[in-house]
């Protein structure tokens, strides 16, 4: 069935497809810019208004010009010192009909340029990219756990041995299996139940049901990776953010190590504005350790200075950084930082930090035992970082990162000095492994 709708003098052929296409999303974006409500956009696309609302709400991205600590309408005339906590008795939540109701985004809003409240932009191309990414992920792997494989295998194996078809088995045991006949055939054909003696080409029993799956089989039934943390945090989102916030202070982050089995592991931070490198010593390479490293940096700088100097954290998609979005906000709801992730296999997107690693490797060379070399504590790490940041850089016109930071932001410089870093005399800088010899 095909329908032709008239819109602005142009004809658009529509089909009763369930999923929104890229052209549909372009119309949604155009409708938001033209201040059309969701009902009008839905009527044009022959969709339910709830579909349009979910699409905008799911894929819109937050951006700021001058972000407020809290969306309070009493901010301009605040008499409580702008403490900006929801517990404040003067707090009056801001509500925008255009942003919060219909159409649900700020594209084309005449007030957006001067608006200090949170703003959301819907981008058709970015939304379509996220949709295709999620569609690809949902079509990978098997939607079943290894425990369910064992349980269902133990149930159907003796029945198959007795000559019963899958249809008969499902007729009598559907409540225990909860799979369609086609899905069950697909799982058997794919070999998921081989460990239970069930094979599509040889349905008779060839071995007893295993109570525990072998490791090489169990790896097939691991839960699917959850990539929802990437929504709104892709590299293209990072580029959009820095385009809007041209003065944003950016810190690139990574992990350096030589032995994945025993470490040590160094969580590195490069403050791009100063060319300054900081490192946190870890004994394990886990998401919890990396989160604690970020919190350590905040404790060194203090909340206010951290928010300013580490407004953006850009890192790669290493498994140790999966949990980072959990610490974007503090318990009181205030924003600590914004996390963005580089594209897969694209270390060039944080090339400034990668180049800094080369300097650090003069002291901590690859294929060496870093612990035996002398790197066994945060104090040792501070020593390495002190010498790396005390070496003059050509890109800094012969200055050192320490000198540039002290000149541009003396408060930040003093925080690191108080923590234990030392600005080394240029003639005393050592960029060799023997620096750590004690």
pLDDT in tens, 165-210: 777 788 888 888 888 888 887 787 677 777 655 654 444 433 333 4
Per-residue tokens: 159: 């029945």
Pairing of strands 61-63, 119-121: antiparallel
Report the percentage of the chain scoring pLDDT > 70. 85
Provide mean pLDDT across the span 284-310: 94
Which pair of structure tokens corresponds to residue 374?
Answer: 């002398």
Q: Per the structure block, which two tokens stand in for 428?
A: 């005393």
For residue 118, with 0-12 CB atoms within 10 Å meaning exposed, 13-18 middle and 19 or more buried, which class applies? Answer: middle
pLDDT tens-place string over residues 44-65: 999 999 999 999 999 999 887 6
Cβ 384 vs Cβ 435: under 8 Å? yes
Pick from 334, 326, 421, 434: nearest CA to 375:
434
User: How does the average pLDDT of the chain come out, rounded?
Assistant: 84
CA dist 334 → 69, 160, 328, 341 (Å)? 7, 59, 9, 21
What is the rounded CA–CA span in Å between residue 238 and residue 349? 11
Secondary structure of 307-341 in HEC code, one letter for each residue? HHHCCEEEECCCHHHCCHHHHCECCCCCECCEEEE
pLDDT value at 397 more than 60: yes
Kindly tell me if the per-residue pLDDT of 429 is higher than 90.
yes
- How many Å apart are CA 211 and CA 300, to the nearest integer? 51
pLDDT of residue 16 exceeding 90, the answer is no
- Residue 134 pLDDT greater than 50, yes or no: yes
pLDDT at 10: 38
Residue range 17-43: average pLDDT?
90
CATH architecture for segment(s) 228-436: 2-Layer Sandwich (3.30)
What's the pLDDT band for 162 if we cut at 50, 70, 90? confident
CA atoms within 13 Å, Cβ hemisphere of 308:
8
Distance between CA 55 and CA 24 in Å, rounded?
11
In angstroms, how far is CA 102 from the centroid of its own chain?
Answer: 28
- What is the arithmetic mean of pLDDT over 26-35? 93
The percentage of the chain sitting over the pLDDT mark of 90, rounded to a whole number, equals 49
Nearest to 186, CA basis, from 157, 166, 171, 205: 166
The CA-atom distances, in angstroms, between 68 and each of 72, 73, 118 are 8, 11, 8
Helix (H, G, I), strand (E, B) or coil at 216: helix
Question: What tokens appear for 406 in the block?
Answer: 């002290």
Give the model's pLDDT for residue 436: 93
**Separation CA 338–CA 148 (nearest Å):** 39
pTM: 0.53
CA-closest candidate to residue 336, choices 287, 297, 289: 297
Average pLDDT over residues 404-433: 94
The region, left, alpha or beta by phi > 0 then psi within -120 to 50, assigned to residue 306 is alpha
Q: Among 19-23, 148-152, 423-427, where is mean pLDDT lowest? A: 148-152
Q: Are 28 and 55 in contact (CB under 8 A)?
A: yes
Spatial distance between the Cα atoms of 185 and 19, rounded to a whole number of angstroms: 28
CA–CA separation, 59 and 377 (whole Å): 44
Pick the range with the lowest mean pLDDT from 194-203, 371-380, 419-428: 194-203
Report the b/e string of 225-241 with b at 16+ CB within 10 A. Answer: eeeebbebbbbebbebb
Numbers of helices and strands, H then E, in the chain: 17, 9
- Is the pLDDT reported for residue 345 higher than 60? yes
Using alpha carbons, select from 103, 229, 208, 90 the residue that is nearest to residue 157.
208
């Amino acid at each position: 069935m095909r329908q032709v709708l008239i819109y602005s003098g142009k004809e658009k052929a529509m089909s009763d497809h369930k999923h929104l296409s890229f052209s549909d999303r372009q119309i949604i974006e155009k409708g938001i810019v033209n201040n059309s409500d969701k009902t009008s956009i839905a009527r044009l696309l022959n969709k339910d208004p709830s579909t349009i609302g979910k699409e905008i709400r799911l894929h819109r991205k937050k951006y700021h010009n001058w972000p407020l600590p809290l969306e309070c309408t009493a901010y301009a005339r605040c008499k409580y010192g702008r403490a900006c906590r929801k517990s404040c008795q003067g707090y009056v939540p801001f509500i925008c009909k255009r942003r919060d109701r219909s159409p649900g985004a700020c594209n084309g809003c005449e007030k957006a340029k001067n608006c200090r409240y949170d703003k959301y932009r819907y981008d058709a191309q970015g939304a379509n990219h996220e949709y295709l990414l999620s569609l690809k992920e949902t079509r990978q792997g098997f939607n079943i756990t290894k425990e369910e494989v064992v349980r269902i295998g133990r149930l159907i194996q003796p029945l198959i041995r007795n000559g019963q078809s899958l249809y008969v088995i499902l007729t009598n045991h559907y409540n225990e299996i909860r799979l369609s006949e086609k899905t069950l055939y697909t799982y058997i054909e794919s070999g998921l139940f081989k460990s239970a003696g069930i094979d599509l080409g040889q349905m008779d029993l060839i071995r007893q049901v295993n109570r525990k799956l072998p490791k090489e089989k169990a790896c097939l039934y691991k839960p699917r990776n959850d990539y929802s943390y990437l929504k709104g945090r892709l590299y293209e989102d990072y580029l959009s953010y820095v385009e809007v916030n041209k003065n944003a202070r950016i810190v690139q982050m990574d992990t350096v190590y030589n032995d994945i089995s025993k470490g040590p592991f160094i969580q590195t931070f490069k403050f791009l504005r100063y060319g300054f490198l900081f490192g946190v010593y870890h004994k394990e390479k886990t998401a919890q350790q990396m989160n604690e490293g970020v919190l350590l940096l905040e404790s060194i700088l203090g909340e206010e200075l951290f928010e300013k100097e580490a407004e953006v954290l850009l890192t790669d998609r290493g498994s140790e950084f999966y949990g980072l979005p959990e610490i974007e906000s503090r318990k009181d709801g205030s924003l600590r930082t914004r996390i963005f992730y580089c594209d897969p296999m694209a270390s060039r997107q944080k090339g400034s930090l990668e180049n800094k690693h080369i300097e650090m490797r003069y002291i901590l060379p690859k294929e060496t035992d870093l612990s035996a070399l002398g790197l066994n504590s945060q104090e040792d790490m501070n020593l390495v970082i002190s010498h790396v940041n005390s070496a003059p850089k050509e890109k800094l016109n012969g200055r050192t990162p320490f000198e540039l930071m002290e000149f541009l932001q003396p408060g930040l410089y003093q925080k690191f000095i108080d923590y234990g870093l030392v600005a080394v005399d240029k003639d005393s800088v050592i960029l060799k492994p023997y620096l750590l010899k004690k």
